[in-house]
Amino acid sequence: MQITRLSSRGQLVIPKVFRDAHGWAENTEFVVKESGTGLLLEPVVSDKSKSLSDIVGMLPKPGRKLSLTALCAPVTGYGKD
């Protein structure tokens, strides 16, 4: 369990362990929803890549052959934070 505190400016710090686990970086936007006894934060999902690092490693290394079937297969989990 992690504990955080609301600042006088209404800001919360999301503990680093959660930011790292979900890949949330500075300027990540969230949708805030009421949920029973509290709030639910969901990251805003964008359809476009924000940087080259989002797609690095998706293609095979040079010299490695990839079948057309494998190349056309959907990428599971991509874009989920």
Domain range summary for the chain, segments of one domain joined by +: 16-72
Amino acid at 78: Y
Per-residue DSSP letter, 54: G
Is pLDDT above 60 for 62? yes
User: Model's pTM, two decimal places?
Assistant: 0.52
Predicted confidence (pLDDT) per residue in 11-57, tens digit: 999 999 999 998 889 989 999 999 989 999 999 876 655 566 666 66
Q: What is the pLDDT, as a whole number, of residue 77? A: 57
Per-residue DSSP letter, 81: -
In the predicted model, what is the mean pLDDT of residues 52-63?
65
Strand ranges (DSSP E) for 1-81? 30-35, 38-43
Tokens of 80: 């989920």
Is pLDDT above 90 for 72? no
pLDDT band at residue 67 using 50, 70 and 90 as cut-offs: confident
**Which segments of the chain does DSSP mark as H helices, in order?**
16-22, 68-72
Handedness of CA 53, 80, 59, 72 (dihedral sign): negative
